[in-house]
A = this chain, B = another copy of it.
Amino acid sequence: MSETDLSPALLPHARDAVRALRPSQIREVANAGLGLDDVLPFWFGESDRVTPLFIRDAASAALAAGATFYTHNLGIAPLRAALAGYVSALHGATAVDHVAVTSAGVNALMLAAQLVVGPGDRVVEVTPLWPNLVEIPKILGAHVETVALDYGPRGWTLDLERLLAALTPGTKLLMLNSPNNPTGWVMTRDEQRAVLDHCRRHGIWIIADEVYERLYYAGEGRSVAPSFLDLASRDERVICVNSFSKAWLMTGWRLGWIVAPAPLMDDLGKLVEYNTSCAPAFVQQAGLAAVQQGEAFTQQLVGELKASRDHLVRALSALPGVDIKAPAGAMYLFFSLPGAAAGSLALCKALVRDARIGLAPGSAFGPEGEGFVRWCYACETARLDEGVARLRGFLEGRRAI
């Protein structure tokens, strides 16, 4: 290497819009637990269980068969067809030319945002919210405005009129996540209908992040949350994003999909080419196995998660100063703890350090989440119980001081 002669002004840093993106406060809490080997991790949005064996075996079989080449930008044909069938069964007729495979659910969100928003565009989102949805448009130069959910006796609810008022003419995009991470809030069918009507009237795009749609506990049988796909035609300004991560425990696989108007697919294919080109071939084969053979697994998983949710709600509600409503969807409880109002980030760091419990601070999901903590309950009941016991000890210790 040669000598360099750099003035301080030339020291490298990312552009301002990227430096302004929020770092993960969940990771900041997790870092506070580095070196501690007995922390109970409820902080990440991930089950503690490995992907089902039949899905892993499908990937290994595809590898053995030599599926190591590029695929079509929009995904292998059998997977797109299987997804079209899956979506059709849940939400009404959906042709294969409305379906594209992506390199993760978050990648689907990035691609959908690239399709419709550019510099200066106005984007509206409902918070508290997984930060990725809020930050993605900013990478593309768009402005994001937020509408906060209300928290009250019925848990988290939407002030529909406030959201519609924020969706002013000229707004480019509404980006929504229901069932919602972190609150578990689920938008009702009536709310979806009102929002869709309003957005139609003003030509506003909707990107609906529905990755938790199967983790819905208010329905019967083959559970699925209300979806914009139930209401919208397939050729209007609605893009629905989904993922293999939640329904089939495939977080580490980075596989998702998009349902979008067919006229957008050529442009979406170009964006896939310029972002990741395609999802790995053998990962797509594993996704095919999940869609074709995974329904029984998903239904059992949803039953277990519902039981875990109810178990944790009961256990936490017995703690002094804790009041929780069981949310209808996702895999989190998002609730207020004594001491959280003074700063959920500091509280979560104290929890990991002093009580060895890993929770996500509410402020990680926007200022509207301050005062709350998020607990992912996708794990064994025994671990939940141990976590609640540790939390009780922590809270009693604080009160004793």
Whether B252 and A282, one on each chain, are in contact in the complex, defined by CB atoms closer than 8 angstroms, is yes
Contacts of A3 in B (CB 8 A): 233
Binds B, one of A10-18, A158-166, A317-325, A328-336: A10-18
Q: Is A1 an interface residue (CB 8 A)?
A: yes
Q: How far apart are A269's CB and chain B's nearest CB, in angstroms? A: 8
Contacts of A6 in B (CB 8 A): 200, 236
Contacts of A250 in B (CB 8 A): 68
Binds B, one of A56-64, A214-222, A382-390: A56-64
Q: How far apart are A210's CB and chain B's nearest CB, in angstroms? A: 16
Contacts of A93 in B (CB 8 A): 1
Q: How far apart are A264's CB and chain B's nearest CB, in angstroms? A: 6
Given A18-B115, A252-B281, check contact A237 B12 (CB 8 Å): yes
Binary interface profile of A, 110-122, with partner B (CB < 8 Å = 1, else 0)?
1000111111100
Query: Which of B1, B119, B283 lies in contact with A92, CB distance below 8 A?
Result: B1
Residue of B nearest to A255 (CB): B280
Q: Is A266 an interface residue (CB 8 A)?
A: yes
Whether A64 and B60, one on each chain, are in contact in the complex, defined by CB atoms closer than 8 angstroms, is yes
Number of A residues with CB within 8 Å of any CB on chain B: 93
Within 8 A of B (CB), among A232-256: 232-237, 249-254
Whether A270 and B21, one on each chain, are in contact in the complex, defined by CB atoms closer than 8 angstroms, is yes
A4, A14, A51, A203: residue with the most chain B Cβ atoms closer than 10 Å? A14
CA distance A3 to B104 in the complex (A): 32
CA distance A50 to B281 in the complex (A): 12
CA distance A135 to B64 in the complex (A): 35
Given A2-B231, A107-B275, A276-B103, check contact A68 B236 (CB 8 Å): no
Residue of B nearest to A266 (CB): B23
Query: Which of B116, B141, B283 lies in contact with A14, CB distance below 8 A?
Result: B116
Whether A21 and B274, one on each chain, are in contact in the complex, defined by CB atoms closer than 8 angstroms, is yes
Whether B115 and A261, one on each chain, are in contact in the complex, defined by CB atoms closer than 8 angstroms, is no
CA distance A1 to B93 in the complex (A): 8
> Main secondary structure on chain A at its contact with chain B?
loop
Whether B69 and A251, one on each chain, are in contact in the complex, defined by CB atoms closer than 8 angstroms, is yes
CA distance A319 to B154 in the complex (A): 80
Residue of B nearest to A15 (CB): B118
Instruction: Give the number of copies in the complex.
Output: 2
Q: Is A354 an interface residue (CB 8 A)?
A: no
Q: How far apart are A275's CB and chain B's nearest CB, in angstroms? A: 5
Given A1-B230, A9-B203, A51-B68, check contact A253 B274 (CB 8 Å): no
Q: Is A67 an interface residue (CB 8 A)?
A: yes
CA distance A159 to B270 in the complex (A): 31
Q: How far apart are A118's CB and chain B's nearest CB, in angstroms? A: 5
Q: Is A139 an interface residue (CB 8 A)?
A: yes
Contacts of A235 in B (CB 8 A): 4, 11-12
CA distance A20 to B203 in the complex (A): 21
Within 8 A of B (CB), among A199-215: 200, 203, 205
Whether A56 and B46, one on each chain, are in contact in the complex, defined by CB atoms closer than 8 angstroms, is no
CA distance A268 to B203 in the complex (A): 34
CA distance A46 to B254 in the complex (A): 23
Whether A12 and B264, one on each chain, are in contact in the complex, defined by CB atoms closer than 8 angstroms, is yes
Whether B277 and A280, one on each chain, are in contact in the complex, defined by CB atoms closer than 8 angstroms, is no
Q: Is A271 an interface residue (CB 8 A)?
A: yes
Q: Which 7 residue pairs spanning A and B have beta carbons closest together?
A: A119-B119, A14-B267, A51-B68, A50-B66, A60-B60, A252-B281, A12-B261
A–B pairs, 22, beta carbons within 8 Å? A1-B92, A4-B233, A10-B203, A11-B235, A12-B263, A17-B118, A19-B267, A21-B267, A21-B271, A50-B66, A68-B250, A103-B107, A103-B276, A104-B277, A107-B275, A107-B276, A118-B141, A132-B273, A141-B141, A254-B276, A280-B280, A283-B283
